[in-house]
A and B are shown apart, each in its own frame.
Chain A
Amino acid sequence: MSQLWEYAPAPESRDIANLKPAYKMFVDGEFVEGSGEPLKTINPGTEEVLAEVSTASPSDVDTAVKVARRAYDRVWGKMPGTERAKYIYRIARLIQERSRELAVLESLDNGKPIKESRDVDVPTAAAHFFYHAGWADKLSYAGYGPDPRPLGVAGQVIPWNFPLLMAAWKIAPALATGNTVVLKPAETTPLTALVLAEIIQQADLPPGVVNILPGAGDTGAALVGHADVDKVAFTGSTEVGKLIQSQLAGTGKKLTLELGGKAANIVFDDAPVDQAVEGIVNGIFFNQGHVCCAGSRLLLQESIAEEFLEKLRIRVSTLRVGDPLDKNTDVGAINSREQLTKIQELAAAGEAEGAERWTSACPLPDKGFYFAPTVFSGVSQAMRIAREEIFGPVLSVLTFRTPDEAVAKANNTPYGLSAGIWTDKGSRILWAAQKMRAGVVWANTFNRFDPTAPFGGYQESGFGREGGRAGLEAYLDV
């Protein structure tokens, strides 16, 4: 009888991804060969090579920026908002039409489970285009003066954790406000951004308005350092963010950075325990923990800590780790060997520093980059696993005695991107949310993303906001 309850494999077909052997960069409305060294992108779930992708050299970057400047001067910068909206709306519709293809391709290239790319990444990407299409002709009412002007050419560099979604976060507001774009997707996950380029071509966007240049860090450096770029938007590590900030100092370019995080999830003793356990699991194991706003520190009130931890471990042990294309998979593959090594190194540091390690006994596939969900208890503020961003499925559990102690510990980090509060008491939510130094505070939920809500950080988590009315400011001359 017990095998009656086993999950049968339910893999999504990889043919739906329409995978091609080679992908080219997208400049001036055409797919062209880059003059950089081509890169091979792999499927982190199996380690097989998916496709070869051409990359941009500094001279390609220069061409793309010139093209974007021309498109800005001649077409896009002058176009009325009502017209721009039509293009953006068309992109949104095309993302929806090709959503299944995009979801499968995203899971292949990134390693995230198909249920997540299908239910979160792709629909949210479309939602960002829909939302910003609505703003294009209403900028006069956004609170930035009667006729706010665009900045010009935006150079954008995005990370590998949400490849398509981050492209949408960056491109949609830039287009809505009348800027043109040169975007560099991450080295390990360029494919969905290039399918988005196909969609942009399908939508008949004027050539040069959006250009997509795959490449590694040097391509990104050439882009953000280009003299004719007016605006730089970067999402990625704090380390690289600092480099960009010092590179741009004194140039007058407008900059927004969305960097790392070490979010605290605070669970008070009156929180509904089972519901909170679900939220904590979602907060750290969603997208294999590759989320800058992941709830990677759990702060438990001491009176419920033991009971909570036990329930948490039982719940985590039911998470299914494996083939990203299987619809039953909860936790997919770590994006790269490099990232896997980093997670392993930090987890080892946690053990060495004396935290108690518990790792789910779930089976892992033989091939590919996988890391079993892990919970560290008995963690103290001084340990590396409480201070450094792990960016993997590893949760550090700390305890507190009073609300003030919880707030002090939660804020005791150089980061400040997100936070979570779990309590039945509304007044305590409001009190704690005000004390929290974080750009986003979730109450009795976690990892909710909506294009209408601004997202961004404090301190080493960066500055500037994306999404919502506040997010428009980053792309307007105000």
Chain B
Amino acid sequence: MWAIDTAISMVDLTTLEGADTAGKVRSLAAKARRPDPDRGEVPKVAAVCVYPDMVATAKAELEGTGVHVASVATAFPSGRSIMAVKLADTRYAVEQGADEIDMVIDRGAFLSGNYGAVFDEIRQVKEACGAAHLKVILETGELATYDNVRRASWLALLAGGDFIKTSTGKVAPAATLPVTHVMLQAVRDWHRQTGELRGVKPAGGIRSTKDAIKYLVAVHEVAGPEWLTADLFRFGASTLLNDLLMQRRTQLDGHYSGPDYVTVD
């Protein structure tokens, strides 16, 4: 139960589709505020993650609830645009009220060895964020090797990213346990060297409660117990939440419920 509630409180409930509408975002926000309408004690999720043009809608729904509004930015998901556009994208999202920005790194630059460009870009986006928290999406599925993941993680931490995040969810493979393990090692090492705590967010592909618990164990064993909070660990997911709610009911009721007893938003 503790693990399920902790996992719920770490979910970044996400909708990032071309077909997103204000209605869709509003219903997601309602879900974020009260994940299980029948059980008021269920914790709220950590944030709702949307495209920049939906930030204002989400913000209006979530103002004062404690649920953050996160927005992807910097020409998500490919990151293939010019710097001015990326910065404008970021500033717009922040102006609209986003508390957290999920940026993508320039994988093309990274893979061609132009680490300086990647670093500078993260730096500039971080400045554009102002008070908003910055999550840096490495898109590990395109980086291909653990060495690259580790190097990109370190680059993002050096450049000031508050979180390092595995994936956009638009590329397969998205988050995997081994990749998350490598990223957890990076934030652990960063903490040992600087004393600062930075977060990790696996996103995409985590669908079941069992998977979520495996990640929590990895967080505890690799980084440490102080990372077991929504300030330092998040799940980027949309379908995971309903499985968590169903398993939560199973634990409490002593029998399985079904998908008809949780809300589909």
Contact = CB atoms under 8 A, between A and B. Distances in A.
Interface of A: 1-2, 4-5, 272, 274, 310, 424
B225 A5 contact: yes
A474 B168 CA distance: 60
Nearest to A314: B192
Interface in B110-152: 147
B225 A310 contact: no
Contacts of B225: 1-2, 5
Contacts of A5: 220, 225
10 contacts: A1-B2, A1-B225, A2-B225, A4-B2, A5-B220, A5-B225, A272-B147, A274-B185, A310-B192, A424-B147
Interface in B225-245: 225
Interface string B171-194: 000000000000001000000100
A310 B147 CA distance: 21
Nearest to B222: A274
Interface in B181-212: 185, 192
Given A2-B225, A272-B147, 8 more contacts: A1-B2, A1-B225, A4-B2, A5-B220, A5-B225, A274-B185, A310-B192, A424-B147
A469 B72 CA distance: 60
Contacts of B220: 5
A272 B147 CA distance: 9
Main secondary structure of the interface of B (DSSP, over half): helix
Contacts of B192: 310
Place the interface of chain B in its size category.
under 10
A432 to B, nearest CB: 21
Contacts of A1: 2, 225
A28 B185 CA distance: 58
A258 to B, nearest CB: 37
Contacts of A272: 147
A261 B147 CA distance: 34
Contacts of A4: 2
B189 to A, nearest CB: 8
Nearest to A318: B221
A319 to B, nearest CB: 13
A310 B192 CA distance: 10
A310 B189 CA distance: 11
Nearest to B216: A5
A13 B245 CA distance: 38
A391 B181 CA distance: 33
Nearest to A1: B2
A1 B225 CA distance: 10
Nearest to A310: B192
A424 B220 CA distance: 28
Contacts of B185: 274
**Which of A2, A272, A274 is packed against the most chain B CB atoms within 10 Å?**
A274
A5 B219 CA distance: 12
A5 B218 CA distance: 12
Contacts of B147: 272, 424
A303 to B, nearest CB: 15
B113 to A, nearest CB: 17
Across the A-B interface, the 5 shortest Cβ-Cβ residue pairs: A274-B185, A5-B220, A4-B2, A2-B225, A1-B2
Contacts of A2: 225
A272 B2 CA distance: 35
A342 B244 CA distance: 54
Contacts of A424: 147
A424 B192 CA distance: 24
A412 B220 CA distance: 42
A123 B220 CA distance: 32
A5 B6 CA distance: 14
B235 to A, nearest CB: 19
A5 B226 CA distance: 13
Contacts of A274: 185
B178 to A, nearest CB: 12
B38 to A, nearest CB: 26
A2 B147 CA distance: 33
A164 B181 CA distance: 36
B8 to A, nearest CB: 16
A2 B224 CA distance: 11
A446 B225 CA distance: 30
Nearest to B193: A307
Nearest to B220: A5
A318 to B, nearest CB: 8
Nearest to B182: A274
A69 to B, nearest CB: 57
B31 to A, nearest CB: 27
Nearest to B3: A4
A1 B192 CA distance: 23
A5 B220 CA distance: 8
Nearest to B6: A1
Interface in B1-47: 2
Nearest to B192: A310
Contacts of B2: 1, 4
A10 to B, nearest CB: 16
A7 B185 CA distance: 22
A279 B94 CA distance: 46
B180 to A, nearest CB: 14
Nearest to A4: B2
A384 B185 CA distance: 36
Nearest to B146: A272
A2 B225 CA distance: 8
A119 B185 CA distance: 27
A330 to B, nearest CB: 14
Nearest to B228: A1
A274 B2 CA distance: 30
A272 B192 CA distance: 17
A274 B186 CA distance: 10
A226 to B, nearest CB: 54
Nearest to A272: B147
Nearest to A424: B147
A137 B132 CA distance: 73
